[in-house]
Amino acid sequence: MPGACSLFHFAYRHAFGACCAMQVDDSKFKFSWSSPLSGRPAQLSKLSGLAQEHAMAATSMAAALRAAGCLLAEAATTGSAASDLPAAVRAAAESSASGSAGPLADAATFLRRAAGVFTWLADDALIRLMGKLPTDRPTELVPAASACMARICLAEAQALTAHRAGQRGTGAGITSAVHLGAATLFEDAIKGLKEKSAELGTLSERLRRYLAISGGLQRARAQRNWSLELLAKGEAGQGEGVCMDAAAGVQQCMVVAEGEETWKRVLAAELDDIEACRKRIEKERIGVYYQSVVRKTNNSLPPGGPKVLVSAIPYVPGACQSSPEVGQALGP
């Protein structure tokens, strides 16, 4: 796939505008793109005209912003040195770091910006291409696919917000609700894919698995934090039961993650955290509260429901909001 770079997007947008102004037939321009979202990255799709190329360039720009956010988040959560990041990603983060609340906040901002571009594609640019695309069009040019990617970016930003809340010592109940918000956003993405399955056609199976695992993981983290809130309320029996329910959910995710060692390591680490939490609660349940373990109750998640704190940063074409350096580092 061509480089995921806003410079491409900027150039195509203005070339398209120039062709329109001069009433030039741009259908003679031919382009080839791969389609990772279709699950067939080695297969090229043929596109005609600058409008279609412009949309794919914008998709690549959004993907580059998301990749930059994920790289920053991984470095921040694993303790990797900043020097391990691609130079252009470091430069982009530093250029937006004025008044920054830290690397996790910077990563979430990249993800929210990516969500803004995907939302613009889903609600505007791709709508205007409907009926003009070839039958073998990339999945990236389907509005429902961009809408799904926008939800994924927001879910990832929300997950980082929840992680940051835990780091800052925010109350377990609030942290649980924020994790539940991330789970809800992932689940909304899954729901959107199911509702638009006919429109989407072929879709990456790995993407489907990622959504299922991510949603399940965030729900388990919500339960783990809520179990501590229950303990603080003196409901240790229910708290330990919620931990056990959370572990069962992660075990289900392990089955879905079969063959993906990186995913399995993340899930295994969460199982360790849940078990440590369960043992802490068990000690107080037996030694202080003298309660029995209670499983599968209506009190296994915050009664106030999910708390979503993130929103997409609106994308304005022509404002050149993204960092060209990021795209150059991540593509082609």
Q: Tens digits of per-residue pLDDT, 67-81?
A: 999 999 998 887 665
Q: To which residue do tokens 């303990």 refer? A: 231
Q: Confidence class of residue 91 from pLDDT cuts 50, 70 and 90? A: low
- Provide the angle, in degrees to the nearest 10, between the axes of the packed helices 261-284 and 236-256: 170
CA distance 278 to 270: 12
> Of the segments 54-58, 222-226, 294-298, 328-332, which one has the largest average pLDDT value?
222-226
What's the confidence (pLDDT) of residue 317? 85
Q: Which of 320, 313, 323 is nearest to 71 (CA)?
A: 323
Q: Which of 90, 91, 94 is nearest to 75 (CA)?
A: 90
Mean confidence (pLDDT) of the chain = 84
What's the confidence (pLDDT) of residue 319? 62
What's the confidence (pLDDT) of residue 31? 79
pLDDT over threshold 80, residue 178: yes
Whether 234 and 175 have beta carbons less than 8 Å apart is answered as: no
Query: Which DSSP string corresponds to 221-244?
Result: HHHHHHHHHHHHTT-HHHHHHHHH
Per residue in 248-298, pLDDT tens? 999 999 999 999 999 999 999 999 999 999 999 999 999 999 999 998 777
What domains are there in the chain, each with its CATH number?
6-330 (1.25.40.280)
pTM of this structure: 0.86
pLDDT over threshold 50, residue 313: yes
Is omega for the bond preceding 103 within 30 degrees of 0, making it cis? no
What's the confidence (pLDDT) of residue 205? 95
- Provide the angle, in degrees to the nearest 10, between the axes of the packed helices 205-232 and 261-284: 10
> In terms of pLDDT, which residue wins out, 194 or 31?
194
- Widest Cα–Cα separation across the chain: 82
Q: What is the chain's alpha carbon radius of gyration, rounded to the nearest angstrom?
A: 22
Is omega for the bond preceding 332 within 30 degrees of 0, making it cis? yes
Q: Which of 41, 8, 16, 9 is nearest to 207 (CA)?
A: 41
